Structure 1
Amino acid sequence: MNNEYKGKVMWSHLDANGHMRHSAYADFASQARIAILDEQGLDLGTFQRLKIGPILFREELIYLREVGVNENLRITIELTKARGDGSRWSIRHEIFRSDGVKAAVVNVDGAWMDLAKRKLTVLPDELQDLFMHISRSENFVEEEIK
């Protein structure tokens, strides 16, 4: 399974200092998650039909190096922690510049929400299996289902 997404920094991603603005890192990480979920068969149409969507409880950005306009980025994602049923999860994104230098790390903690009931939920069994096959970090932790 592919665990990376590629994107190009646009003028609109820059701040007044001429480097990528803080929220653009989060936008690239979010797009990487959505693209990789889609590759796994967890596409937007399926989520809309089931009235389920991913939500975030926490997002942490660690900035390591500057990124400028027209830079080609490679964003990797790995599950670092998840309940056995995939109902709660943590994902680490690493953002690399085209020269291979790691520019940032984005860590998120999330879950699935029933959009009709506005309550946390679990994915249907067949989607749980797809989600739990996302690449895992070396130090992946499987939590107990509560």
Structure 2
Amino acid sequence: MNQNIFFEGQVLWSQIDANRHLRHSAYADFCAQARSNMLNEFGLSLNEFAKNKIGPILFREELIYHREVNLDEIIKVSTELTKYSTINGRFSFRHQIIKPNGEIAATVNVDGAWLDLQIRKLTSLPEAWKSILQKIPKSTDYIEINE
């Protein structure tokens, strides 16, 4: 089982849709929280990003449903880096939403990059953060682009 768990929590009433299961946008919310928790755990808090006037942005978010998630279930969210460009800071993450019985309920893939919040252009991360990036869990199919 994947051990790169960066979020664990109960599915709340407010996250349920008309069909009485987890609404589609709640999956994205859980994954965003898992990414934020992961970055924070390795020393890149939102405050640290703000000090450096850098923010993450997403270009694509893909949600693949496998099993229903219901009210009051305690789910876990894993986070792994699947692709990273050392040239322009573009990244891809894969998340898995895991049910209490260990089944994968959904896979969420996101592609994004780092944005310079002053000039509103893509940027690379500061050199001092490169060692922190090495701590981020990588998938078994991880690709690093250096050209």
Q: 1:7 to 1:21 in 2, by over 3 A?
A: same
> 8 Å contact 1:84–1:143 — kept in the other structure?
yes
Q: Tell me, yes or no, if structure 1 residue 135 matches structure 2 residue 125.
A: no
Q: Which runs of at least 4 in structure 1 moved beyond 3 Å after TM superposition? A: none
Within a 5 Å distance, the mapping from 1:11-50 to structure 2 comes to 11-50=13-52
Q: C-alpha distance in 1, partners of 2:27/2:59?
A: 17
- Structure 1 gap ranges (5+): none
Q: Tell me, yes or no, if structure 1 residue 58 matches structure 2 residue 60.
A: yes
Secondary structure of 2:71's aligned partner: coil
CA drift at 1:85: 5.3
Q: Which stretch has the larger CA shift, 71-80 or 121-130?
A: 121-130
- CA deviations 1:47-105 (Å, max 9, x no partner) are 11111000001100001100011110110011111113571110000010111110000
Q: C-alpha distance in 2, partners of 1:59/1:84?
A: 21
> 8 Å contact 2:62–2:109 — kept in the other structure?
yes
- Corresponding residue for 2:106? 104
CA drift at 1:132: 3.3
CA drift at 1:143: 1.2
Q: C-alpha distance in 2, partners of 1:104/1:71?
A: 14
Q: Which amino acid aligns with 2:23?
A: R
Q: C-alpha distance in 1, partners of 2:59/2:143?
A: 18
- Structure 2 gap ranges (5+): none
CA drift at 1:127: 1.4
Q: C-alpha distance in 1, partners of 2:125/2:101?
A: 38
Secondary structure of 2:34's aligned partner: helix
Q: 1:102 to 1:52 in 2, by over 3 A?
A: same
> 8 Å contact 1:54–1:112 — kept in the other structure?
yes
Q: C-alpha distance in 1, partners of 2:99/2:38?
A: 19
How many pairs were matched up?
145
Q: 1:3 to 1:133 in 2, by over 3 A?
A: farther
Q: 1:97 to 1:2 in 2, by over 3 A?
A: closer
